[in-house]
Amino acid sequence: MAVWGTEIPFRNLGAPRGLGRDRYVENSQRTGTGQLLAGRYRLGESIGRGGMGRVWRAEDEMLNRAVAIKELTAGMYASEADRRILHVRTRNEARAAARISHPCVVTVHDVLVHDDRPWIVMQFVDGRSLADAAKESGRVPVADAARIGLQVLRGLNAAHRAGVLHRDVKPANILLAEDGGTLITDFGIAAIEGDATITRTGEIVGSIDYLAPERVKGGDPGPASDLWSLGATLYTAMEGVSPFRRQSPVTTMQAVVTEEPKPPEHSGPLTPVIMALLSKDPAARPSAAQAEEMFRAVTEGRSPDLSVLPDTVTLVPGGAPVSRDTTRSVTLVGGGTPVAPPAAVPPPRRSGGLGRVIAAVAVVLATLVGLGVGYVYLQDGDGGSGQGAGGPGAGERTQGTAPSDGGADGTGDKAGGKGRNQGQGEADGGDGPGDRASGGTGGVPAGWRRVQDPAGFSLLVPQGWTRRMVGQQIDYSPADRSHRLRIGIDRSPDFETPYEHLLDLEKLLSKSLPDYRRLSLGPTVYRDQPKSARWEFAWTEKKPFPGPRRAIDQMYYDDEGVEYAFYLDGPADRWSTVRAQFQTMTQSWRPPGPSD
């Protein structure tokens, strides 16, 4: 049986632990503990990371106080145009937060420019995020959720009175201080009243699970959009699961727009409040002041007064709010500043379930694909040769550019002339991506089988493919091994991001593979995970399968920081078929469970 002449270590498992991360911090960012910024801020340890950058604990040596400093890292590999937009957004974050003076909003102390990048100096909060608290405990108790919700509402009220919409309320952006306080942070995509927009046409910014329906459909956000996000945030914290999370961004956005959430089971007296906040119709949601009163009642041991809900809301059994009419209204927020909610969305026609699903999918796909959706943390990773996958301008494919990521593998293998769906049935609301292609039996496409791997994960593989271990990695391949899928799982990755890991691998392989050519390499999104990257390349193999070959390598970090990597290669003249196989396998991927 043939074996590989050139073994491709698509994961650098042989590298000494820790060298990759430190090397890229030093060479790419030149930022580290002990560095002095602006002659007064001494960097300490890194205390948080996100899609846009990371946060350092630092010492303000002039005022002798601890501060938090946000470093913008997302633009390190971006084009000049995209870097300018990121820098504007960072300054916008500082200006937005600076307009708000409230104990429930993180204070911005200073903005400085270092290494040609803006840095934000903020109040240091000794504590953890709501996301971390929920992750550690499984669920947040109702009493704690009510207290947190009350303080967040007070902070949002102050922001709205100052003319600022947060637009990214989620568990990771709510800080729980050790002294019991709750603060909102990260106004990086906030909208300031009177400012020109800094988003491109069709661009959606924010975390999909917590985007209000009107924002998913391209409508203008209002204060009610922040409240919807708060409802989804508290639902997630109390239930331990997002109300709308599905298996891909497309199906998640479809659920946000068309599906009512399952009534929470662990929210007690907060249930009607949460369900009202999650009303699809912005006009049917309670105002911040009304919601604040309801949360206050629960914190004081009283039942919330449901009469404060808008007249347009009726609570049906199970607590789901239903709009009785679509009358446009004006809500007074805080001190009486009139804020007009977005136009009410007419109730969907119920002439046929299939028609509703198709219409919803069309709305979501038009938002993601036709308009060229862009995530703020997706940037050009190909040295100016085209946008990285799913990044700004992803709706306009350029030769050598990875496809935009529609959950598992984007919008189709355009290089192979294939359409997006490939018979995968992802948007049918069924058994999950890749399990409903026509011609299959039992929910599995014809010619495929679902394997439950001993490592705990599950995915579809073509019939006849077998498993073997290669070091610490797992291969699935046909009998002749002319191509193979290689899967790697690393619970302690050496690199800050998958993108940095792929750059490191490229340095190794570009020197050893004959006629190596990069086709694309850049950040992307896989299963809503912002720490994802994809690399496609080509080379000429000498033996045992001589001739041109191509490969694709997809990596992502999950919420626990575990790195998952999928690598597939094959003959260039069969690439459209091989690439379609990769799409089916990655769309059907089910990672190991918590106990695996």
Binding annotation for ATP: 70
**Annotation marks residue 528 as catalytic:** no
Which position has the token pair 């961004």? 249
Binding residues: 70
Distance from C-alpha of 524 to C-alpha of 404, rounded to nearest angstrom: 7
SS (H, E, C) 25-44: HHHHHCCCCCCEECCCEEEE
Paired residues of 539 in beta bridges: 549
Inter-residue contact 234 to 194 (CB < 8 Å): no
DSSP readout, 206-256? S-GGG--HHHHTTPPP-HHHHHHHHHHHHHHHHHSS-SS--SSHHHHHHHH
Q: Which residue has the tokens 């977005």?
A: 342
Alpha helices in 340-472 (DSSP H): 353-365
- Which among 6, 10, 2 has a CA at the least distance from the CA of 471? 10
For residue 544, cis peptide bond before it (omega within 30 degrees of 0): yes
490-524 burial, b for 16+ CB within 10 Å, e for fewer?
beebbbbbbbbbbbbbbeebeeebeeeeebbbbbb
- The residue whose two tokens read 């009642």 is 297
Task: For residue 450, list its beta bridge partners.
Answer: 460
How far is 538 from 503, CA to CA, in rounded Å?
Answer: 15
Three-state secondary structure call for residue 145: helix
Spatial contact of 120 and 93, defined as CB atoms under 8 Å apart: yes
Strands 41-49 and 65-72: unpaired
d(C-alpha 273, C-alpha 83), whole Å:
41
Structure tokens belonging to residue 287: 């105002």
Contact 408, 420 (CB under 8 A): no
Residues near 327 by beta carbon (within 8 Å), at least 6 away in sequence:
283, 312, 344
Regarding beta strands 36-37 and 41-49, do their DSSP bridges make them parallel or antiparallel, or are they unpaired?
antiparallel
* Cα-based distances in Å from 556 to 225, 307, 489, 563: 29, 46, 10, 6
Tokens encoding 48: 């948080």
Q: Which of 144, 168, 504, 553 is catalytic?
A: 168
What is d(CA 411, CA 422) in angstroms, rounded to the nearest whole number?
10
Using CA of residue 350, residue 355, residue 360, residue 366, what is the dihedral sign? negative
The answer to whether 313 and 284 are in contact (CB under 8 A) is yes
Rounded to whole angstroms, the Cα distance separating 73 from 439 reads 46
Active site residues: 168
